Amino acid sequence: MWAANLLFPEALTDFLQGLNDVQRQAVLATEGPVMVLAGAGSGKTRVITYRIAHLIRNVGVLPQNILALTFTNKAAGEMRQRIDSILEYGSASSLWIGTFHSVFARLLRSYIHLIGYDRNFSIFDADDSKSLIKQCMKELNLSPETLPVNLVHSAISKAKNSFVLPPEFHRKAIDDQSQKISLVYERYVHKLRENNALDFDDLLIKPIELFTEQPRVLEQLQDYFKYLLIDEYQDTNRVQYLVAKMIAEKHRNIFVVGDDAQSIYSWRGADISNILNFNDDYGDAQVFKLVDNYRSTKTILDAANSVISRNTHQIKKELVANAGMGEPITLIEAFNEKREAEKVAEHIKSIRLSKGAQYRSFAVFYRTNAQSRVIEDMMRQNRIPYKIFGSVSFYKRKEIKDAVAYMRLVLNDRDSESLLRVINFPPRKIGDVSINKLKEFAEERNISLYEAVKRAGEGGFQARLVNALTQFTDLIEAMRKQAEEGTAYDVLSMLYETTGLLSLLKEENTPEALARHENLQELLSMTRDFADHNPNSATLGDFLSTISLASDYDETQESDNYVSLMTVHAAKGLEFPVVFVTGMEEKLFPLNSYEPGELEEERRLFYVAITRAREKLFLSWAQSRYMYGQPQMCMRSTFINEINPNIIVTEGGRKLSESPKKVAATAMAGRPVFGSSLRPQPGGSPAAKVPTVKPAGSARPTGAAKSEYRPGTRVQHAIFGPGTVLEVQGSGAKQKVKINFRTAGEKTLMVQYANLKIV
């Protein structure tokens, strides 16, 4: 150790004066196991970097004897910079700071020869791994069409992260699919070793294998890394937990920082029990709770505290605000998702006008990537610059471009780019060699590529290929006939049904596949919405024109002044002055129906969303939403009911607590709350009504002219779309109309609540 300067202790600890009492105590607790529960905005990174600086400057620990593990290179870089800013520049150069994967890859370069690998091993990325899995499946005569490669890759990765190796996986394989994956897993591991290669998951598994087979190596590293620090401990998986425990076992100077309330990654292997059970692993551990929040107003933190308190599996703590009370939370209610997005845009424009806020001050969150589509559309319509984070714009996502390419080819069979995009999607075993021959055939005959595909039987191609090409052109021709007789919705529905695209993605059952599934369903919903609201111009050509105009928008503005759009998962670690959390509905947020443990993770995700807001929080929900191509009635999220209604106001400024029965009844009935759309005024007080936006065309509200309804009258409904009146019952306030809706069938509605428009 370096000799500590005992003559001037004040000078040594001067940089610690900026910490609050609990932060300082955590930094000074240098020996033995320590857990710091760092609530949102409580200075987590500050504590871990100051502790490292304190160990070096005041305790005299050599920098190379400190190992700090993070989850991202960005976090590691920020940590190193902060330490350099506290100490002399370059003091952090010999520190071991990095991600789990990068640190252990570096260690394996020195020691992996002891377990039979060459030090110059290759590291396979996801694409390399999938290619090797595909090779294993071919050798085992397993078809990727019945057992998707992505599914196998995901299952193997999940097993490795849970430290389930091939023998155990084989024992637990109870169904046919699992047994097949077990065979692939075993062969895949064998082939990795043959190739002197590791995949990303092996970078954590192989150290455990090394430490088990070579205990002297483990002992050397334990003496070298006397102090172990782990950031975001709630996100560790089983393998990360085990390897960290082995390294810290001798000196027990393990320091973990995290927040169980922000554990939101179980779907990629994170195990919340690692942080919840830290005291069981280390009975003498010191625990420090950082609850002073330096980010958000008291109102926002009260909402976060009340929501997270409902979770059973947690370590109790309550965030304390260092800012003032702040504005109440505003609840936005809309009759559908379009109006919801429109209201979000209106509030952004209003706050900019009243308070001079920059676009960069705003963030819009959603639970699933598919929800971005309608929000993007509304941002463009209102000329609000935006940027998608953690994903790409809806219209640029591969699966959307694939589906749109099909529709373009139906409309224009000379569109060779679209043809080449979809001819082998889903897979039809039409390879590059066959496609090049088709191109040559088209040039020889001076015909379009599509015509060459149709006439492949004349070109001497193999019967198998001709059969596959015939099936493809039969599909395109059937879709073309459907386009002549129906709408874009009908065409897309036929594509999904004939190709089985949606079922293929659902069967794959990986997070990526399910996200693509949601996006394709959203595109189907878009076509249905387009058909319902444009009954006289819902052709495939009209729809594709709309798509082209939307996808042409470039959301990556040269300026950095834009509204940020992202899923709540992508928002973790960020903060914004004004936050909108959209889609606050049952089966959307929380997503679908869950077991208690899964519901608790959804609640933690909502907690993360709330605590990203510094000054103002909006929660929004739609009473109806197009889902799976159909209009669905929605119920307001139960999470909203978990917040104190005294700190939530409607857009009209009324506290939610003032008429809870009325609000609950409205949510249950799914009826639009008309006249409640209000625009905030300067100072943040909602006051002036936003005018009702009428749809284009000759439709007009007819709530006052009830006598105009008669059998045969054509009407438009916000949820059920266009329809024809079959029967009129009663008069005045009790008048009802029986309507045959084109998409929803027959409905009997109370006129005073239906908000029908005569077309």
CATH number at residue 280: 3.40.50.300
Distance CA 459, CA 438 (A): 8
44 is in an annotated binding site: yes
CB 238 within 8 A of CB 161: yes
Residues 605 and 628 in one domain: yes
Beta-carbon contacts of residue 712 (< 8 Å; ≥ 6 apart) = 724, 725
Residues 344 and 327 in one domain: yes
Select which of 45, 632, 638, 666 is catalytic. Answer: 45
* Backbone dihedral angles phi then psi of residue 635, each to the nearest 5 degrees: -115, 145
CB 322 within 8 A of CB 350: no
Range of the structural domain that residue 722 is part of: 713-758
527 is in an annotated binding site: no
38 is in an annotated binding site: yes
Q: Tell me, what's the pLDDT at 706? A: 40
- Classify residue 1: in a domain, yes or no: no
Q: What are the b/e assignments for 298-318, b being 16+ CB within 10 Å?
A: bbbbbbbbebbeebeebeebe
Which of 172, 195, 218 finishes a domain? Answer: 195
Would residue 45 show up in a list of annotated catalytic residues for this protein?
yes
Q: Which residue, chain included where needed, has tokens 């703590």?
A: 317
SS3 assignment, position 383: coil
- Classify residue 119: in a domain, yes or no: no
Residue of 154, 155, 137 whose CA lies nearest to 146:
137
Select which of 528, 612, 625, 757 is catalytic. Answer: 612
Q: Is the dihedral of CA 369, 426, 542, 531 positive or negative?
A: negative
CB 688 within 8 A of CB 679: yes
Distance CA 300, CA 619 (A): 12
Give the H or E element holding residue 712: none
Would residue 612 show up in a list of annotated catalytic residues for this protein?
yes
Measured at the CA of 442, the angle between CA 436 and CA 443, to 5 degrees, comes to 95
Residues 607 and 739 in one domain: no
- Classify residue 333: in a domain, yes or no: yes
- The CA dihedral of 692, 697, 702, 707, to the nearest 10 degrees, is 180
SS3 assignment, position 613: strand
Distance CA 213, CA 475 (A): 58
| Residue 691 CB-density burial (10 A; 0-12 exposed, 13-18 middle, 19+ buried) | exposed
Q: Which two tokens stand for residue 22?
A: 């609990």
Q: What are the b/e assignments for 453-476, b being 16+ CB within 10 Å?
A: bbbbeebebeeebbebbeebbebb
Q: Is the pTM of this model over 0.85?
A: no
43 is in an annotated binding site: yes
Q: Which residue positions in the chain have pLDDT lower than 50?
A: 1-12, 556, 661-706
Q: What are the b/e assignments for 639-661, b being 16+ CB within 10 Å?
A: bbeebebebbbbbeebebeeeee
| Residue 716 CB-density burial (10 A; 0-12 exposed, 13-18 middle, 19+ buried) | buried
* Backbone dihedral angles phi then psi of residue 685, each to the nearest 5 degrees: -90, 120
Bridge partner list, 457: none
- Classify residue 663: in a domain, yes or no: no
Residues 182 and 220 in one domain: no
Q: Tell me, what's the pLDDT at 12? A: 46
- Classify residue 705: in a domain, yes or no: no
Cα separation of the two ends of the chain: 84
CB 635 within 8 A of CB 586: yes
Residues 165 and 216 in one domain: no
736 is in an annotated binding site: no
Q: Tell me, what's the pLDDT at 701? A: 38
Which DSSP state fits 58? I
Residues 729 and 587 in one domain: no
Residues 533 and 411 in one domain: yes
Q: Which residue, chain included where needed, has tokens 């191509």?
A: 629
Residues 94 and 173 in one domain: no
Would residue 262 show up in a list of annotated catalytic residues for this protein?
yes
Q: Which residue, chain included where needed, has tokens 């002992």?
A: 219
Distance CA 405, CA 421 (A): 7
Residue of 74, 23, 51, 70 whose CA lies nearest to 232:
70
Specify the number of domains making up the chain.
Answer: 5
- Classify residue 3: in a domain, yes or no: no
Residues 511 and 558 in one domain: no
Q: What are the b/e assignments for 363-382, b being 16+ CB within 10 Å?
A: bbbbbbbbbbbbbbbbbbee
Q: Which two tokens stand for residue 51?
A: 């502790």
Bridge partner list, 689: 678
CB 637 within 8 A of CB 587: no
Residue of 610, 607, 556, 608 whose CA lies nearest to 578:
610
Residues 591 and 519 in one domain: no
473 is in an annotated binding site: no
CB 30 within 8 A of CB 60: no
Give the H or E element holding residue 575: none
Distance CA 313, CA 263 (A): 11
Which of 516, 539, 562 finishes a domain? Answer: 539
CATH number at residue 157: 1.10.10
CB 686 within 8 A of CB 330: yes
Beta-carbon contacts of residue 197 (< 8 Å; ≥ 6 apart) = 121, 122, 123, 124, 128
Residues 371 and 516 in one domain: no
Which of 177, 195, 213 finishes a domain? Answer: 195
CB 57 within 8 A of CB 278: no
- Classify residue 674: in a domain, yes or no: no
Select which of 201, 202, 231, 235 is catalytic. Answer: 231
Distance CA 438, CA 204 (A): 47
Select which of 199, 232, 532, 601 is catalytic. Answer: 232
Q: Is the dihedral of CA 608, 610, 616, 617 positive or negative?
A: positive
Residue of 385, 362, 375, 326 whose CA lies nearest to 578:
362
Q: Tell me, what's the pLDDT at 744? A: 63
Beta-carbon contacts of residue 683 (< 8 Å; ≥ 6 apart) = 354
- Classify residue 499: in a domain, yes or no: yes
Angstrom CA distances, 685 to 40, 253, 323, stand at: 27, 52, 20
Would residue 44 show up in a list of annotated catalytic residues for this protein?
yes
Residues in the chain: 759
Count the neighbouring beta carbons within 10 Å of the beta carbon of residue 249.
13
Count the neighbouring beta carbons within 10 Å of the beta carbon of residue 420.
15
CATH number at residue 499: 1.10.486.10
Select which of 23, 240, 262, 582 is catalytic. Answer: 262
Residues 374 and 428 in one domain: no
Q: Tell me, what's the pLDDT at 691? A: 33
CB 537 within 8 A of CB 531: no
Distance CA 343, CA 677 (A): 8
